Amino acid sequence: MLISMILSSLIFIGMTSFYIQLQTSIMQYYQKTRLQQAIELGLAGMKKDIKRAGFIANNPNKMTAKAIEIDKQSKCIILRYDSEIRNSWVWNRFNSTKSDVFTYRYKENNIAYRTGSIDCFGSKWENLFDSNEIKVTDFTIKQLPDAISLSIAAELRKNKQIKYHITEIIKNENRF
């Protein structure tokens, strides 16, 4: 009887240990998947804007500025395209939501977005990621001959062991 109790206890301890390891592994997989989905969802709008940069409805010769500008540190990108089919790129200083200028920048461990900003400074930027959940550790933009390369690395704030890195090559659909 004593031997069977000892064997039963050993089996129970082994199963408990296995269960705890399984739960930890499942939680880490879930956290990594959640981080990956958040990064890819956050970059979806930026990729769409890069693809559209340079578009002017009916008359591409009306370009009044560069369609794509990348700052010297490769941490900010300014994109211009005719977002409402107005046959021109509109920039309205007083009503930025009516502008055809879309800017993304890396600042304070996040990527921020702003419509109507013709530079990478100022206030009223909207973060793409929840700063309490995700820490962006690197963001780099590179101009390639016929595309843009975006590289982003991030980690979870509550579990720094959960990291994700992605590099995307986005081909522009318009000439720039």
Please report, for the chain, the start and end positions of each structural domain, with discontinuous segments joined by +. 3-171
Which residues, given as ranges, of the chain have pLDDT below 70? 60, 62, 175-176
What is the reported pLDDT for 60? 67
Q: Are 154 and 164 in contact (CB under 8 A)?
A: yes
> Do residues 87 and 64 lie in contact, with contact meaning Cβ atoms separated by under 8 Å?
no
pLDDT recorded at residue 175: 62
pLDDT of residue 122: 87
In whole angstroms, how far apart are CA 85 and each of 5, 49, 58, 92? 78, 15, 9, 16
Record the tokens describing residue 31, joined without a space.
């956290």
Record the pTM. 0.83
pLDDT value of residue 47: 94
Q: Which amino acid is at 148?
A: I
pLDDT score at 76 = 95
Q: Assess contact for 103 and 77: CB atoms under 8 A.
A: yes
